[in-house]
Structure 1
Amino acid sequence: MKFQVPKPILFSSIALVIIFLCILGFWQIERNEWKQNLIDEKNINTSLEPLNPSTIDSIDKNLLDYRRISVEGKWDFSYPFFLGNKVRKNNLGEEIIIPFLLADNSGAILTNRGWYPVSERQKIIEKLKENQSGTLEGLIRVTEYTGKKTSNGVWTAFDRESIGKELPYDIKEWVVFEGKEKTNYKDNSAYPIQGWVVYTSTTPHIEYALTWFGLAIVLLIVTIARFIKKQRPRNSTQSQQSD
């Protein structure tokens, strides 16, 4: 005897699946709206005037993310840090982190000074040392990454807190990526490659939402089609019996 799931249970299960798929679709729409608001917030921050020492300390740390900065000071090349395994166009490279000592003695800023091929490390250090002091211009990032220092002295991530423990002075609770806004992703031959891009989202929330809604619609259509298909033979049999 062929086992059949009772229709009430079957239809209830299908209905629950359809509802669940729709919930996922609406959740993706909400996520998209939240992400768009976040993008607008970050881009507004980026469009504001660069911060300087007289204003930066009066702003809450959480409001500093994606703000531009322009401050005076000098570079401390006694403590270079390197972020390894940074690949660009199939070229293995690394990024160099140099502390920037503020001119008003209010602390130091861990600064990402750009990317270069691994083989160019010593040349890059010598090039950067040509300017021991000056103006730091770049983008503030308020992020917390977890990294560690490997046996060859290279860090796996820009771990501000851990790197800061190796310094004899206090550092700011945020970091800076040196350079100006990059309007394209094309690399150039001038190392280190510096700069930053405006905040964007690469997650296709709307496409995900359409996928979930599409699956719900397909399941609904298949269910209705199978129900109609099963009903037709039964109606045909009843018609023949009445004849």
Structure 2
Amino acid sequence: MRPRFVLFTLLALVLFAGFASLGVWQVERLRWKTDLIARVDARIHAEPVPAPGPADWPGLTAESAEYRRVVLRGHFLNGDEVQIYTPTDWGPGYWVLVPLARDDGTVVMVNRGLVPEDRRDPATRPAPEGEQTVIGLLRMPEDRGWLFSRANNPEARQWYRRDIASITQTLGLKDAAPYFVDQELGDPAAWPRGGQTVVSFRNAHLSYALTWFGLAAFVAFAWGLVLRGERRR
């Protein structure tokens, strides 16, 4: 065999193995994503369970707890309201996060929902007083920013993501939970507007797997053509 054909065969083997490995990896990711979607769908439609207490906090992970439907009771610390900018269906808006103090002395940040720009001032909307019962989805903190996201400015009490540790430390809250709760929709005409959690997972792993396997098949086909030509020579 000519040296050129040997080099082409080695290159084809490397490419085929690489593309096939990527295809297998995408199949594994597809299985993981399918399980994740099924698990989250079951959680958001389940009956609410008590929100995790301090004993459970160290073991909480996104995989084990996020989007779990929970219930908690306490009174809101309305003076410590935090607002986080986000685009909304009503134009520029804000997530309204308020600490909820529980009877056991712990505090949980509750995302009460969205408000448009003209409802940003707390004076434009009534604040809940007395003991409250909150039902919502447990969420893990957004402590990492995206590539072009603005940096939080705790000194000015300006946050651009729901970084719970930064918020509770700045507010001086003790025994604060490491998660927050997206409150469900209550009065559909009231502000803040709860129930705005977007539960959506992009799942394109099947198309990616087919692409990688297709490239592997193309390499094998091309090598077969070259082999046939080599035999004719």
TM-score (norm 1): 0.76
Q: 1:202, 1:189 → 2: CA distance?
A: 31
2:147 is matched with none
The structure 1 residue matched to 2:33, chosen from 31, 35, 54, is 35
2:78 is matched with 77
Q: Does 1:61 align with 2:60?
A: yes
Cα 1:189–1:87 shift into 2, 3 Å: farther
Q: Which has more radius of gyration?
A: 1
Larger deviation, residues 143-152 vs 215-224:
143-152
The answer to whether the 8 A contact 1:99-1:110 is kept is yes
Residues 203-242 of structure 1 correspond to what in structure 2 (within 5 A)?
A: 203-229=203-229, 234=233
Q: 2:31, 2:179 → 1: CA distance?
A: 27
Q: 2:161, 2:198 → 1: CA distance?
A: 21
Q: 1:145, 1:10 → 2: CA distance?
A: 48
Superposition deviation, residue 89 in structure 1: 4.7
Q: Structure 2 regions of 5+ residues with no counterpart?
A: 145-150
Cα 1:11–1:106 shift into 2, 3 Å: same
Q: Does 1:52 align with 2:33?
A: no
Q: Structure 1 regions of 5+ residues with no counterpart?
A: 182-187, 235-243
2:202 is matched with 202
1:161 is matched with 165
Q: 2:230, 2:10 → 1: CA distance?
A: 18
The structure 2 residue matched to 1:17, chosen from 15, 18, 23, is 15
The answer to whether the 8 A contact 2:113-2:196 is kept is no
1:107 is matched with 106
Q: CA RMSD in A?
A: 3.0
Superposition deviation, residue 229 in structure 1: 4.9
TM-score (norm 2): 0.79
2:181 is matched with 176
Cα 1:130–1:200 shift into 2, 3 Å: closer
Superposition deviation, residue 217 in structure 1: 1.3
Report SS of the residue matched to 1:136.
strand
Identical positions, percent: 23
Q: 1:118, 1:227 → 2: CA distance?
A: 68
Q: 2:198, 2:159 → 1: CA distance?
A: 25
- What is the identity, as a one-letter code, of the residue corresponding to 2:143? Y
Number of residue pairs matched by the alignment: 220
- What is the identity, as a one-letter code, of the residue corresponding to 1:110? M
Q: 2:189, 2:226 → 1: CA distance?
A: 63
Cα 1:134–1:150 shift into 2, 3 Å: closer
Q: 1:206, 1:106 → 2: CA distance?
A: 48
The answer to whether the 8 A contact 1:137-1:180 is kept is no
Q: 1:52, 1:110 → 2: CA distance?
A: 15
- What is the identity, as a one-letter code, of the residue corresponding to 2:166? S
1:239 is matched with none
